[in-house]
Amino acid sequence: MDLYQICYFLTIADLGSFTKAAEQLYVSQPSLSAGIKKLEQELDTLLFERGGRRILLTPAGRLFQERAQAILGEYQSIRHDLKKLKDQPKLRLATLPSIRGGSMAEIIGAFRLQHPQVTIEICTGYLQDLQHWLAQGDVDLALTWLQEQDNSQTSQFLLDLSGI
């Protein structure tokens, strides 16, 4: 069963006509009829009583209409939620496995208090992994231990974790 078949079915049920549904959906009537026929074959039941100009739902069609509306509503809700999630700001953070979980929890907790709308994705790897991920743009920020001999231009001291 495909989503387009559900939309076809619900439009026909609402309008009571294959012709009007085809016009509203901008599809040919034969395509619409073929989609419904395929749906009825898959469900192994007739959904419409065809006769005359107007079509009627069978008892199975009325049951399917109720469930199909719920399916379409859930689908639209999921799309809305995913769009909100996609539009949400994201911080991709990489860290060494040797950084204590408690330290990370404090850092992330403090950040979330100031930026509750930001989703934080954390990945853990070794120093060469973190450097590679940063270079490739796979992460936005990498937390490592400060090394005295590290004179690279890509490192920046952000905060002192020694007290945590």
Domain boundaries, the chain: 3-85, 88-143
Distance CA 131, CA 139 (A): 10
pLDDT at 151: 56
Contacts of residue 25, defined as CB under 8 A and 6 or more positions apart, other chains included, come to 7, 8, 11, 32
Mention the CATH class of domain 3-85: mainly alpha
Return the CATH number of the domain spanning residue range 88-143: 3.40.190.10
Of the candidates 125, 72, 117, 75, the residue with the CA atom closest to the CA atom of residue 97 = 125
Can you list the residues of the chain whose pLDDT is less than 70?
A: 146-164
Contact 6, 64 (CB under 8 A): no
- What is the maximum span of the chain, computed from C-alpha positions, in angstroms? 87
End-to-end Cα, the chain, rounded Å? 55
pLDDT at 7: 95
